[in-house]
Structure 1
Amino acid sequence: MLMTVAQSVLPPGGPGPLPAVLMCLPALPTIGLESLFRTPAIVTLAVLALSIVVLMTITLVQTHHSELIPPGLKYGVVLDAGSSRTTVYVYQWPAEKENNTGVVSQTFKCSVKGPGISSYASDPQDAPKAFEDCMQRVQQQVPAHLHRSTHVHLGATAGMRLLRLQNKTAADEVLASIQSYFKSQPFDFRGAQIISGQEEGMYGWITTNYLKGNFLEKDLWHMWVHPHGAGTSGALDLGGASTQIAFVAGDAGMLNTSDAVQVTLYGYTYTLYTHSFLCYGQNEAQKRFLASLLQNSSSGTHVTNPCYPQGYRVTVPMGQVFDSLCTAQQRPATYGPLRGIAFEGTGDPWLCREKVASVFDFGACRGQEDCSFNGVYQPKVQGPFVAFAGFYYTASALNLSGSFSLDAFNASVWSFCSQAWAELPLLLPKFNEVYARSYCFSAHYIYHLLVHGYKFTHETWPQIRFEKEVGNSSIGWSLGYMLSLTNRIPATSALVRLSIPPPAFVGLLTFFSAIPLMSLAFLAFLCSVSRTEKRSEHPLKHTVDPATSQSSAAASGWATALSGADCRQHSPASPPLSEPCSSCPCHPGRGIEAPGLGQDLPPLPHSKGVWEMQGFGGDAEQG
């Protein structure tokens, strides 16, 4: 094909003298632009350049202007079945995950009316009825076409842990009733389970650090990346029936096996110390405190309480104090579930602090730096901490939030606990009798737990932040639980919408890739022809007879003039001349007038060698 193209651009009758511009590109500077523009090479070069530009353009358009179609969102629902209430959370995350963990955000929260599910031990079939209102609202929050693919998990905490220890059959019946209810829901229910105290502490730590941005942050290109040099925060959770502490210990190798747990999120692994203290939630701790007051009272029915506000009186049945596994061993001999106990508040903050210390067994850790209370091992606390749930609500009642000093905390506690009962409605925006009477006890309890238990000092206390939520997400174990579950939920890849359909792109790529190849091949062919012509530019330069070397210049000049003379070249094959040879300008016996030169050239030498070198053949006499 290339030979055919070459023949179409060459003059007929042979290759002829082609300009030197058709030589290879390294020789172009020696040729001159005037010759270049008179050749097919310039057209070929233009086509080559244009095709390369088009090829690069369509490639850039295809790679840089393609539309990334997000794979959409996935949803998950977690029911936090605590000891005092149940809260429903709806979470969502992009279906395409970051290092196998979803980037989860809370989109909805609903508090179930009524007590915690452990309160339905005697009527387990009634436990799920309270969920109806919240679950109807959840159906509105999750798109209908995603209901079947949305996982629902119920996690029960310390309240159900206590019930299982006290009455396993009742605990199982409550969970079975809940599972039966969710089978009628349009969601993918993954079961109701009682999570351990260690899991509760771990999930609370995950939530805390996720919301604090210690796992992920967006860079300048809005991509999720692990923060450079990011540390972590410890988590302090105070529930109704238990309290948890979790943090990354300085020397993980020194941790006891029972208190060490590894967490892998977003491609990073963390080793935590986490411990849960059952019966040390603020509700169960207060029951134990009231039981101790009754034990130390001279009266079996009337007890003074230094932690209740002055002027407050209440009578509670013994069953409300002693029906828990946490206080079962403190039951008096005169115990009767319906028998009433009258408590009268005195509002004495000094005595309250002294009495609350009896809830803990600090003596079991006397002289041990790596021990909290009750003989439980704990490494030294370090770094920032976030205190949530009961910690936050108590601090908020004291008009404290965020970070503050231990002295500021004590001053607020003394001020609040010195108030009379009649003054509390003015101090508390949302007044609730049960909560209002308990805040003073909770404040002193938090002091002993953090200072004498976890060993926070005046220097390290300000590193604690008392918070309820970050952004629109509540701090608690449920978000960490959802994050952990997303590690097991398969990711969905993003789709790419190309600017040019694949078949058309392949066709264009092939076509505009072939053009440069053909152009280069054609240029290579022209270079080859040009080099051949240059080597044979004039035969006289290569086959001169030594015997006739003196007449070479004359022969060369004659040949040049002959090509422009107004006559035919004579050869043995030429027809006879129509006029005498003496008048023919080509006659070898006379000079040839070179047109435009005004002078005659010397007579053509009658050398046989010259004629043969010119390719005429035969004797010179035959001309």
Structure 2
Amino acid sequence: MGREELFLTFSFSSGFQESNVKTFCSKNILAILGFSSIIAVIALLAVGLTQNKALPENVKYGIVLDAGSSHTSLYIYKWPAEKENDTGVVHQVEECRVKGPGISKFVQKVNEIGIYLTDCMERAREVIPRSQHQETPVYLGATAGMRLLRMESEELADRVLDVVERSLSNYPFDFQGARIITGQEEGAYGWITINYLLGKFSQKTRWFSIVPYETNNQETFGALDLGGASTQVTFVPQNQTIESPDNALQFRLYGKDYNVYTHSFLCYGKDQALWQKLAKDIQQFEIQGIGNYQQCHQSILELFNTSYCPYSQCAFNGIFLPPLQGDFGAFSAFYFVMKFLNLTSEKVSQEKVTEMMKKFCAQPWEEIKTSYAGVKEKYLSEYCFSGTYILSLLLQGYHFTADSWEHIHFIGKIQGSDAGWTLGYMLNLTNMIPAEQPLSTPLSHSTYVFLMVLFSLVLFTVAIIGLLIFHKPSYFWKDMV
């Protein structure tokens, strides 16, 4: 065989083998691309359907009336009917403040209670669809004002509640009763509300696993509530035995046990505290403020009896208080007073708050009235005392320090719902906080976007490579060499 003939034979064989290799590789690459495209399409459909499945149109409503010592407020809550035992689905859709004082002030004019409640109950008729009226539960919880009235006369307190029940029963809702809640309940429901709204009871789910895990931010918030007649402190102590059984509560929420400390100080709300202070100074025929923060502070400290403590540590008046732990949400009058004084920013230190209070109290009364012309003088005249009292209660009463002050968050609303005890009260009575963890939660928005972009890019890349193989195979194989 000649040299040229040998070369031609070799070239022919090499070309034949190369063609077979290309055919073999093309088939495998196409198979891989086809499989990848199928997986990408399935993944896109799965993620999209999971994240964007239609929300149920059927919803439910609930009404809670907070009958406080100084006023009554009505709250309307709403949630998808199919998700009663899920988390993060209940939200506030309406708040209506009843005009007038608290219901305890109607003890001598109970016949006016029906008219007193009319405007807000009619507002509830308008907000809630008529088809939902009969199945919408209504609860009224009375707090410290009625607790004080009951201590004075149980008969008078029952008389007021009876008229309230008759008035609320006249509306087309599912009235569930009116009752005086205990201070312990008020503290517990406030703690449940803020932690429910902050998502502290739920667990997050990894996008790549159905096994839930707890984030590093799952420590619950403590709750600081200040009303007109009482104040509550509630939190989970760390590695601390609650020495007083009356201050201990146990909850099981979403599969986790909580040992909670709570106490309600009756007559230590901002209005009752002011009355206590004035009673100590009653020997004067006329009481006139002098704008001296330090003297006001010292006078307020006399309200806290710290001369004895039967436990390892106390707040005041011999009441056990474990060491403070974690972050605290301070709401109700804590928030409203500090917001008026422009002291709710977390960037303002305790020392700065004290300095700003001194300056506010030192301003002449005429100057204050001019600066806050739109505020009623009755309320305006109490802000110096109320702000000073809040500082005294938190620092000397509850033993917050300059360092732990930064862990106090003054909260008005959380995700559109008022911080307070009413939501926790309704969740408890409607049994909408399960003891065990729900099966899963939707993907976070960032995870959803990431997955959609990732699988879209995979599908796009597969399509481009497939087009190159079919339409420009020589160009594709040239790049492969």
Mapped pair 1:406 → 2:340: no
Select 2:148's aligned residue among 154, 162, 175: 162
1:19 equivalent in structure 2: none
CA displacement at 1:489 relative to structure 2 = 9.7
Identity within the alignment, %: 45
Using the alignment, how far apart are the partners of 1:71 and 1:290 within structure 2? 55
Mapped pair 1:174 → 2:160: yes
- Mapped contact 2:203–2:215 kept (Cα < 8 A): no
Mapped pair 1:132 → 2:122: no
Using the alignment, how far apart are the partners of 1:69 and 1:373 within structure 2? 50
- Mapped contact 1:90–1:109 kept (Cα < 8 A): yes
CA displacement at 1:77 relative to structure 2 = 0.1
Select 1:116's aligned residue among 96, 102, 119: 102
Select 1:263's aligned residue among 225, 231, 251: 251
CA displacement at 1:417 relative to structure 2 = 0.5
Mapped pair 1:388 → 2:331: yes
Q: How does 1:64-463 map to 2 (within 5 A)?
A: 70=56, 72-97=58-83, 99=85, 103-216=89-202, 228-229=215-216, 230-251=218-239, 253-295=241-283, 297=284, 301-302=285-286, 343-365=287-309, 370-403=313-346, 404-428=348-372, 430-463=374-407
Using the alignment, how far apart are the partners of 1:134 and 1:365 within structure 2? 45
Using the alignment, how far apart are the partners of 1:359 and 1:394 within structure 2? 20
SS in 2 for 1:214: coil
SS in 1 for 2:302: helix
Using the alignment, how far apart are the partners of 1:245 and 1:205 within structure 2? 9
- Mapped contact 1:100–1:267 kept (Cα < 8 A): no
- Mapped contact 1:389–1:468 kept (Cα < 8 A): yes
- Mapped contact 2:113–2:167 kept (Cα < 8 A): no
CA displacement at 1:364 relative to structure 2 = 2.3
- Mapped contact 2:242–2:261 kept (Cα < 8 A): no
SS in 2 for 1:345: coil
Using the alignment, how far apart are the partners of 1:248 and 1:489 within structure 2? 18
- Tell me which of the two structures has the higher relative contact order, counting C-alpha pairs closer than 8 angstroms and 6 or more residues apart: 2
Q: 1:406 to 1:484 in 2, by over 3 A?
A: same
1:468 equivalent in structure 2: 412
- Mapped contact 2:66–2:140 kept (Cα < 8 A): yes
- Mapped contact 1:248–1:273 kept (Cα < 8 A): yes
Q: 1:348 to 1:482 in 2, by over 3 A?
A: same
- Mapped contact 2:85–2:433 kept (Cα < 8 A): no
Q: 1:443 to 1:207 in 2, by over 3 A?
A: same
**Letter of the structure 1 residue corresponding to residue 279 of structure 2:** A
- Mapped contact 1:80–1:478 kept (Cα < 8 A): yes
SS in 2 for 1:135: helix
**Letter of the structure 1 residue corresponding to residue 336 of structure 2:** Y
CA displacement at 1:263 relative to structure 2 = 2.4
- Mapped contact 1:101–1:484 kept (Cα < 8 A): no
CA displacement at 1:486 relative to structure 2 = 2.8
Q: 1:102 to 1:473 in 2, by over 3 A?
A: closer
CA displacement at 1:254 relative to structure 2 = 3.6
Q: Which has the larger radius of gyration?
A: 1
Q: Which has the larger helix fraction? A: 2
**Letter of the structure 2 residue corresponding to residue 412 of structure 1:** M
**Letter of the structure 2 residue corresponding to residue 150 of structure 1:** T
- Mapped contact 1:262–1:270 kept (Cα < 8 A): yes
**Letter of the structure 2 residue corresponding to residue 83 of structure 1:** S
Using the alignment, how far apart are the partners of 1:430 and 1:213 within structure 2? 37
Q: 1:268 to 1:489 in 2, by over 3 A?
A: closer
- Mapped contact 1:77–1:153 kept (Cα < 8 A): yes
**Letter of the structure 2 residue corresponding to residue 391 of structure 1:** F
SS in 1 for 2:392: helix
CA displacement at 1:289 relative to structure 2 = 0.3
Using the alignment, how far apart are the partners of 1:68 and 1:135 within structure 2? 32
Over residues 523-562 of structure 1, what are the superposed CA-to-partner deviations in whole Å (9 max), with x where a residue is unaligned?
xxxxxxxxxxxxxxxxxxxxxxxxxxxxxxxxxxxxxxxx
Using the alignment, how far apart are the partners of 2:433 and 2:343 within structure 1? 40
SS in 2 for 1:386: strand
- Mapped contact 1:217–1:227 kept (Cα < 8 A): yes
Q: 1:471 to 1:257 in 2, by over 3 A?
A: same
Using the alignment, how far apart are the partners of 2:352 and 2:290 within structure 1? 23
TM-score by length of 1: 0.58
Q: How does 1:40-51 map to 2 (within 5 A)?
A: none
Over residues 196-226 of structure 1, what are the superposed CA-to-partner deviations in whole Å (9 max), with x where a residue is unaligned?
00000001111111222212377687x9x78
Using the alignment, how far apart are the partners of 2:250 and 2:232 within structure 1? 16
Using the alignment, how far apart are the partners of 2:372 and 2:344 within structure 1? 15
CA displacement at 1:441 relative to structure 2 = 1.1
Name structure 1 gaps, 5 residues minimum.
Answer: 1-56, 303-342, 491-623
Root mean square deviation, CA, Å:
2.8
Name structure 2 gaps, 5 residues minimum.
Answer: 1-41, 435-481
CA displacement at 1:130 relative to structure 2 = 1.1
Over residues 328-387 of structure 1, what are the superposed CA-to-partner deviations in whole Å (9 max), with x where a residue is unaligned?
xxxxxxxxxxxxxxx222111121111111111122249x75210000001000110111
**Letter of the structure 1 residue corresponding to residue 61 of structure 2:** Y
Q: 1:95 to 1:220 in 2, by over 3 A?
A: farther
Using the alignment, how far apart are the partners of 2:371 and 2:345 within structure 1? 19
TM-score by length of 2: 0.74
- Mapped contact 1:81–1:154 kept (Cα < 8 A): yes
- Mapped contact 1:261–1:274 kept (Cα < 8 A): yes
